[in-house]
Chains A and B, each alone.
Chain A
Amino acid sequence: MGELVTDKHVKYILSVEKRKDDFESVVMEHLRMNGAYWGLTALDLMGKLDVVDVNEVVSWVMSCQHDSGGFGGNVGHDPHILYTLSAVQVLALFDKMDLIDADKVTNYIVGLQNEDGSFSGDMWGEVDTRFSYIAICCLSIIHRLDKINVEKAVKYIISCKNMDGGFGCTPGGESHAGQIFCCVGALALTGSLDLVNKDLLGWWLCERQVKSGGLNGRPEKLPDVCYSWWVLSSLIMIDRVHWISREKLIKFILDCQDKEKGGISDRPDDAVDVFHTYFGVAGLSLLEYPGLKPIDPAYALPVDVVNRIFFKK
């Protein structure tokens, strides 16, 4: 088994947006804020955040904010809750929380909560448990969780719980590891994990590990490095991570590296991208791989950043 080629991944992340005219750059344009979060968090976990110019990043992030308080995916793009969380997380990485007008961001998020407790992603109303997590995580980071109706928010999430112990995107939706992360994360951040059947959900989650050591997101699907984040962080939050094979999963993630040019892919020998590079590094961090900073499974930020937010205000 190889090792994590940290220096190559750092180079890859820094180089990725310099490429021209390829498919990834076109589809990334509107979600550059997410890309920045993935890339920068991965750099921080590898201890290399200092290779980027803080002021450049921070001024760009701030220029994506709208009067409504929400952030767009790029300058001049409409605000969306997806990018608002990424923006707040990036500012937290750089210890620039003081630049956030917390009341404004709060107003934006509070306005997205629906009568049944669910959240819409933007003013046009797509509803999904992903947005419940994002709203709760974002407000928690800026110390304003009390400004939404937490009880209703939790009730909605619980209404998406299935008989297999997992969660879907809306009530009755199939259990999916990505949605489970969002629901378990939101419940963890609101102190409501007692509402989860941890043994049942833990069993479903650990059944996601397949022979190759990788994790899939649903039964009978292929393994994918991104689930080393979604499944693993959920298992940690419900205290059941020892139920899967750590060694096999580490091997799977390392096998997905491009050892020459850097970057991590979804499965061995596929093309790498920033998204999977982040999830691979974050997964390894959750598995306490040597040389990586620990990441918080609920906030999806390095533990030292979370500690700074809550203990050194």
Chain B
Amino acid sequence: MASGSSEVEEEEQERVMLRDRPEWADVTPVPQDDGPCPVVPINYTEEFAEVMDYFRAVYLADERSPRALSLTAEAIHFNAGNYTVWHFRRLLLESLKVDLHKELEFIERIAAKNSKNYQIWHHRRRVAEKLGPDARNAELQFTKKVLSVDAKHYHAWSHRQWALQALGGWEDELDYCSELLEQDIFNNSAWNQRYFVITRSPFLGGLKAMRESEVLYTIQAIEAYPENESSWKYLRGLYKGETTSWVNDPQVSSICLKILSSKSNYLFALSTLLDLICHGYQPNQDFRDAIEALKIPDLDIQDLDIASMICSILEKIDPIRVNYWIWRKSRLPHVAQ
């Protein structure tokens, strides 16, 4: 049965125009109507235009045949972004009772060239949906493959989240996140997926149950790379809806102090400390000493309270966002008494 994949291979070798193929002799192509005096007339390549002319003919006649299926593969090969072609292909898959596992293979081949295309992923989802849990491994493997090339691929992550929720396969997902973070600890998509897993996996017991071990994991990540925006945001996310626990957890303030004392890459440690103070945290003398030890040149040490001092330092070390820090300073509960 035609799966649609062989035609594309054929195409890559020596392509014969449709008008020269005997099996298409009975079809009259329907040319694109660009409307009266097109404002943005587009000149298509001749081959693509011909495929679309035949496609329109077949689509309008609603011809559910193997050759129509091959034709959709050719049209997709030229332009994977056409909604109608994909839609008609799904109708054909159903009418012709095509083996959908074969279709998944076809999609993989198309995606290899054009993975940022919305239609491909939508089509993939519809096919996997039809297959149900049978498609679970294929979907997890497929997205893994795409993510091995581009670990922040938005469509692949989105599809993977859908697959986990619709088809299952949560068991190894936290390990997979750790694996990706080991490769690139700055990968915000992997951090997001980690949060998705600990808050939504039916096997892990939810955020509260995971907090202790996740805080340890995150603090290690922060220690290794304190300049990582993602790990700091993740740490804050672990206390979602529980600001008091966040403020009172000594692990949070300690990591801030540790990074501040190291005197390098301390921007997020400083801003986290500022957030803690704004939520009621009382820093002790150790914090004060650590901040004074930073000795930022040209810093006006008029700021008596620690929060103002932190804001002044942030204005210096993050000049592109100076207005943000000035605003933060203006909102401090007790500005420089």
Residue among B36, B196, B240, B327 making CB contact with A63, cutoff 8 Å: B36
A75 and B40 alpha carbons, distance in the complex (Å): 12
Contact B240 A163 (CB under 8 A): yes
Partner-binding segment picked from B154-162, B254-262, B305-313: B154-162
In the bound complex, do residue A126 and residue B122 qualify as a contact, i.e. CB atoms below 8 Å apart?
yes
Chain B interface mostly: helix
Q: Is the CB of B321 within 8 A of A26?
A: no
Beta-carbon contact of B161 and A173 below 8 Å:
yes
Nearest Cβ distance between residue B205 and chain A, in whole angstroms? 17
- Whether A59 contacts B158 by the Cβ 8 Å rule is no
Q: Is A289 an interface residue (CB 8 A)?
A: no
Which of B34, B42, B48, B188 has the most C-beta atoms of chain A within 10 angstroms of its own C-beta?
Answer: B42
| B45-A26 in contact (CB<8A) | yes
B101 at the interface (CB under 8 A from A): no
Inter-chain contact A21/B161, CB cutoff 8 Å? no
Distance to closest chain A CB from B245 (angstroms): 15
Q: CA–CA, A122 to B118, complex, Å?
A: 13
The segment out of B10-18, B213-221, B228-236 that lies at the interface is: B228-236
Report whether B43 and A25 are in contact in the complex, using a CB–CB cutoff of 8 Å.
Answer: yes
Question: How many angstroms from the CA of A248 to the CA of B233 in the assembled complex?
Answer: 26
Cα distance, A155 to B240, chains bound together (Å): 19
Give chain B residues whose Cβ lies under 8 Å from the Cβ of A125.
Answer: 126
Among A17, A30, A53, point to the contact of B79 (Cβ < 8 A). Answer: A30
What total of chain B residues lie within 8 Å of the partner, measured CB to CB?
55
Bound CA span A31–B78, Å: 15
Most buried by A among B187, B199, B200, B323: B323
**Number of residues on chain A facing chain B (CB within 8 A):** 62
> Residues of B contacting A52 with CB < 8 Å?
39
What 0/1 pattern do residues 104 to 118 of B give for CB contact below 8 A with A? 000000000000001
- The distance from the CB of A207 to the nearest CB of chain B, in whole angstroms, is 6
A75 in contact with B35 given A163-B233, A170-B161, A248-B320 (CB within 8 Å):
yes
A133 to B154, CA, bound (A): 19
Bound-state CA distance A240–B268 (Å) is 20
Q: Mark contacts of B54-78 with chain A using CB atoms, 8 A cut-off: 1 yes-contact digit, 0 otherwise.
A: 0010000000000000000000001
- From B41, B122, B152, B200, contact of A17 by CB (8 A): B41
Tell me the total A-B contact number using a CB cutoff of 8 A. Answer: 152
A53 touches B39 (CB 8 A): yes
A174 within 8 A of B: yes
A92 vs B59: C-alpha distance when bound (angstroms): 33
User: B-facing mask of A1-31, CB < 8 A → 1, else 0?
Assistant: 0000000000000001111110001111111
- Interface contact A218-B162, CB-CB below 8 Å: no
A20 and B48 CA atoms in complex are apart in Å by 13
The answer to whether B37 touches A59, judged by C-beta atoms less than 8 angstroms apart, is yes
- Which residues of chain A are near B33, meaning CB under 8 Å? 63, 75-76
Residue of A nearest to B40 (CB): A17
Task: Let me know if A206 and B83 touch, CB within 8 A.
Answer: no
Q: Is there contact, CB below 8 Å, between A60 and B83?
A: no
Chain B window 194-205, contacts with chain A (Cβ cutoff 8 Å), 1 for yes, 0 for no: 011001100000
Interface residues of A in 36-66 (CB under 8 A from B): 36, 39, 52-53, 56-57, 59-60, 63-64
Given A26-B78, A64-B35, A124-B87, A219-B229 contact (CB < 8 Å): yes
Per the bound structure, the CA–CA distance linking A172 and B193 in Å amounts to 8
What are 6 A-B pairs with beta-carbon distances under 8 A? A32-B40, A163-B237, A170-B161, A219-B188, A220-B186, A220-B187
B positions within 8 Å CB-CB of A: 32-45, 48, 52, 56, 78-79, 81-84, 87, 90, 118, 122, 126, 152, 154, 157-158, 161-162, 186-189, 192-193, 195-196, 199-200, 229-230, 233, 236-237, 240, 320-321, 323-324, 327
Pick the 9 closest A-B CB pairs, nearest first: A163-B237, A174-B192, A20-B43, A17-B40, A243-B324, A219-B188, A63-B35, A60-B35, A126-B122
Which residues of A line the B interface, CB within 8 A?
Answer: 16-21, 25-32, 35-36, 39, 52-53, 56-57, 59-60, 63-64, 74-78, 80, 122, 124-126, 162-164, 168-170, 172-176, 202-203, 206-207, 209, 211, 213, 218-221, 242-245, 248
